[in-house]
Structure 1
Amino acid sequence: MTRDYANRKPRSPAKPRTTRKSTKAAPARRFPVVLAAIVVFGLASFGYFLWSIYGSSDSAPASQVETPAPKPKPAPKKDPDALPPKPKDEWTYQTELENKEVVVDLPQQPQAPSRPYQMQCASFRVKSQADELKAMIAFQGLEAHVRQVQGSSGTWYKVVLGPYDTKRAAERQRHVLQRAGINGCQIWLWEG
C-alpha cells in the first residue's frame, strides 16, 4: 500500500489528552469460600482414607510379630546323579621350579647379509644412453658407474650406484634421484 504524502491535508494541532482518574475504588475481591470448603473436605477425606487402611495390612507391625523357634534342617537326601566333592588342590610347581633348570634350543638366527647394497637405475643396449643417464645422476651430486654385462640376449650397459652399507643409505639416494625425475631405480644386494 502506498501513501501519498504530498497531497495530504495538514493536521490540526493535537490537543493534549487529559486523563481521568477514577474516584471509585475497585471492588474488593471476595474470599472463595466454596473453593476453600472443597479443598478442606478433600483433605479430610484423604486423611480418613489413610487412617482406615492403616491397620488392615496382612502383616502385623514388627513389634507385635513373634519369632518362631528355628526348625532343625532335615538331613540332605543323597542324589544318585550328584557329583563327588571337589578334590583339594595341592600345588607343587613352586617347589619343583625352584631347583629346575630349563634348557632351550634356539634355532640359528639368520644373519644380516654381509654383502653391501647397490642401486641399479637403468639398463641400456647402447653405451651412449647409459653415459647420458650417468651424467644426469652426476648433476644430482651422486656417483654412478656403467657396467657392461653379457646376457643371453646380448650386451647390456647397466647404470649402478653403490655399494651401500645399509639399505637406508641407498633409499636416501633413491629419493634424491626421484625428486630429480629419475625413477625406476631398484635396490639389490651387491653382486661383486
Structure 2
Amino acid sequence: MRSDYANSKPRKPRQRGKSKASKPAAAPVTPHKVSPLKLVVGLAVVVAFFYALWFLKHDDTEAVSSNGTEQKVVEVKVPTTSSKPKDALPPKPKEEWTYQKELENKQVEVDVPEKANQPTRPYQMQCGSFRKDSQAQELKAVIAFQGLEAQVRKVNGSSGDWYKVILGPYDHKRQAERDRHTLQRAGVNGCMIWFWQS
C-alpha cells in the first residue's frame, strides 16, 4: 500500500518528557490615534513658524523701489505745536540760603581744658631691678639691640642697693607704651611706666 506524501500534512515532532505550555500569541498592534486637538496645535505652530520667516524677510521698514533697489523707510515724529506738555514740571525754584550771611560775623566759643588736668612731669619706664650691676648691664645691652637707650640707676633702699634699668624721660605716655610693645616683642616683659623721678 502506497501512501500519498504530497497531500499529507506534516507531523509535529514528538517531544519527550513533559509537554511545555505553549506561549500565548502576542496581541495585535493597533495604530496610535492622534487627537484632533494635537493636530490643530501642531498645524498652528508650523503656520506661525513660516509666517515669522516671511515677516523677517519682508520687513515693514524696507520698501522696494521701482528699479528694484531696497530703500529704508524712516519714520520721523514731528513734535506737536503745543509749547508745554500737559504733565510738564514747574520750573526749579531758586535756592536761598541765609546761613552764609549769618556765619560771616559769627563768633564761636570753644571750651579748652585747662593744663592743670594734664601731668606736668614726664614719664619713665622701668624694665628691671637687680641686686648686681652686671645683671642690669646685661638687660641694658638687650634693650640696646632693639634700638632703645636705657640707663642703669643705683638706688639705696631699706634692704640694700638696687640697680634699676630705666628708659626715658618721655613727654607722653603713648611714647613709653610704644617702646614697651617693642621690648615685649623682643622677650623683655614686666616694664612699668611711672612719672619721672630724678
Shorter-chain TM-score bucket reads: 0.3 to 0.5
TM-score of the superposition, structure 1-length normalised? 0.45
TM-score of the superposition, structure 2-length normalised? 0.44
